[in-house]
Chain A
Amino acid sequence: MKIAVLVKEVPDAAVEKRIDSGTKRLDRSGEKNLNPFDTHAIEAAMQLREGGAVQVDEIVAVTMGPESSKSALTKAVSLGADRSVQLTDDGLAGSDVNATGYALAKVLESESPDLVLLGQQSDDGECYAVGAVVADHLKMPSLTQVVKLEASGDTLTCERQAEYGYDTVKVTLPAVISVGDAINEPRYPSLKAIMGAKKKPLETKSAGDVGIDAGKVGESGSKTQVLGLNPPPQKASGELIADADDDIDGAVAKIVSWLDERKLI
């Protein structure tokens, strides 16, 4: 079986994220990294391969993003993917969820994977939605937030938490599955894997290469528009006890009197 893992480049966790008031898009100028949630999807692919219940012939990391997103792919390869594909094209910039999912589905069509894995959410857009869009275009069954995944033949048994508790769902391959971050503990790449990652095949494709309809992508092809940008309602900021570790007893005394003042003890 062939597994495609969708991975995204996002601003590094240490960067304070903000929307640019001019372009109304995310300011992507700072340090970038592989979306941390996607490392769980790569690890899930690796565990399927190593688990032996099914034969995994190939794991391909796929991204859509600017030139710089190559480094997210290299990181994905260092975590276990065999090769990677980058969809990059100026015409794709500013794509919303629906446009992004459509474009990714077109790249995936050219790869014909048996299983597409995604992270539970991106650390920037946090739309939790790309998987379902991709699945609808590929006409595959789909599930999100999966925290247990077992494969047997062409059937996946998936568990995930929904509104009323845990659901167990059997899904027939080919399928699109987004995994929750509790599914596994991603491994750290070995030094050898990091060194070797740059040598693994990385293919770059343009929108035209995979037959993307230019009218359906990019800012102009997107059906959502950011019309305005507002600050959140002002809230009185809370009290903070900084560096409590330096004076635990003092901090505890402060907490106790704070609670006591509010008659909570």
Chain B
Amino acid sequence: MAGILVYVLAKDGEFNKNSLGAISEAAKLAGQLGGEASAIVVGGDFADDKLATLGAYGAAKVYKVSGPEGLAQPAVDAMAKVMTDNGLDVALFGGGLLGLEIGAGLAARIDAGVTMEATGAKADGGKIVVERPVLQDSQIVDVGFSGKAVVIGRLNSFEPNDGVGAAGAVETVDVEFNDFSLKAELVTRGEQRGEDVNIEDADILIAGGRGLGEKDKFGLCEDLAGALGGAVAATRAVVDAGWYPYAAQIGQTGKTVAPKLYLAAGISGAIQHKVGMQASENIVAINKDPNAPIFEFSDLGIVGDLHKIVPKLTEAIKAKKGA
């Protein structure tokens, strides 16, 4: 019987939405495969009744492991043990970062196949088949597995559904961690760099990327956002560079947004950015490279130099509003 184990990421006592979605996806898949979905939480000191709520999303069982949270390798040890002890042969992760690290390490440990960026999974003849978009989403491959499978979802691909099941049965598991798994030590977690700005409630977002060239040029985005009555967002590239606050970052390790208008200035349109904004109603992109991937999913693309276009656009919008 195929059983699916879902890793549940958590921080400050709250489960990650993508992990909850992965549980619901696992429950659906386990139903097709004739097995059960279970969840595993490592660290976080959760009370059993909080863990049992994962049952609503579809986890028949919840494995509770005490150990370091927010690090991959202790979770690999824990998942490998639970899968081996309980004869589970599929592991599923929601989108993000830690899931990639744990999933890949786990695949090595239990000798499984691994696929990432999964946007869907189904059972075909009793075996799991995963859909993975590749090469900037230009093609989609169906990935199959011989033996065990580790599936890592793309951000926001699996919707949480809390009407799937009853309370999950919580089981505490003692895990003896490998020496090397304890050689990474979390000093601080989830530091918010820069101002606490709100991009999730804005109807209009002007997003700036590395193409702005320097930190000060974010002023161009701020002026345009001011004229349109919106907020300013950013890519990881510029947040990592310290040009803009982390709270304004869209994407895989940032925020998910769906404004009425998303306008990108100097953003290439990497998948990890796209997954956080593709539900926007109107997507406009200004980029000097006609081959930039962002034009593949823009409603209006402008090939040109943002430094020339954006200031004039701001003036034209001000004039229009003033008229």
Contacts and interface: CB of A to CB of B under 8 A. Distances in A.
B6 interface: no
A244 B309 contact: yes
Interface in A101-118: 101-102
B215 interface: no
B216 interface: no
B7 interface: no
Interface residues of B, number: 95
B105 A136 contact: yes
A60 interface: no
B246 A169 contact: no
B96 to A, nearest CB: 5
Contact of B190 (A167, A241, A262): A167
Contacts of A97: 104, 107, 114
Interface in B299-323: 299-305, 308-309, 312-313, 316-317, 320-321
B113 A96 contact: yes
Given A141-B180, A166-B190, A243 B113 contact: no
B187 A265 contact: no
A19 B184 contact: no
B187 A170 contact: yes
Interface in B70-114: 70-73, 76, 96-98, 100-105, 107-109, 111-114
Interface string B225-242: 000100000001101110
Contacts of B101: 132, 142-144
B309 A252 contact: yes
A230 to B, nearest CB: 5
Contacts of A171: 183-185
B211 interface: no
Contacts of B11: 163-164
Given A162-B253, A229-B141, A224 B299 contact: no
A163 B146 contact: no
- Interface size bucket, A side? 35 or more
Contact of B308 (A129, A228, A245): A245
B282 A232 contact: no
Interface string B269-287: 0010000000000111010
Nearest to A224: B113
A191 interface: no
Contact of A232 (B137, B142, B183): B137
Interface in B10-25: 11, 16
Interface stretch (B40-48, B158-166, B290-298): B290-298
A224 B297 CA distance: 29
B262 to A, nearest CB: 11
B43 to A, nearest CB: 14
Contacts of A18: 135, 138-139
Contacts of B129: 227
Contacts of B290: 242
A1 B3 CA distance: 44
A161 B96 CA distance: 11
A140 B261 contact: no
Given A229-B140, A251-B304, A223 B148 contact: yes
B100 A238 contact: no
A161 B144 contact: no
Contacts of A244: 286, 302-305, 309
B38 interface: no
A226 B143 contact: yes
B316 A256 contact: yes
Nearest to A228: B142
A137 B114 CA distance: 15
B97 A101 contact: no
B312 A248 contact: yes
B52 interface: no
26 contacts: A17-B138, A24-B141, A98-B108, A98-B114, A130-B104, A132-B100, A140-B183, A141-B181, A143-B101, A143-B184, A163-B253, A166-B190, A171-B184, A171-B185, A223-B112, A223-B147, A224-B144, A227-B142, A240-B301, A241-B302, A255-B302, A256-B313, A256-B320, A259-B317, A262-B261, A264-B228
Interface of B: 9, 11, 16, 70-73, 76, 96-98, 100-105, 107-109, 111-117, 129, 133-135, 137-149, 178-181, 183-193, 204, 228, 236-237, 239-241, 246, 253, 260-261, 271, 282-284, 286, 288, 290, 295, 297-305, 308-309, 312-313, 316-317, 320-321
Given A102-B108, A168-B186, A255-B313, 15 more contacts: A97-B114, A126-B134, A129-B116, A131-B104, A140-B180, A142-B184, A162-B98, A165-B246, A169-B185, A170-B185, A182-B236, A182-B241, A227-B143, A229-B140, A240-B301
Pick the 7 closest A-B CB pairs, nearest first.
A244-B304, A223-B113, A182-B240, A164-B190, A132-B104, A224-B113, A129-B104
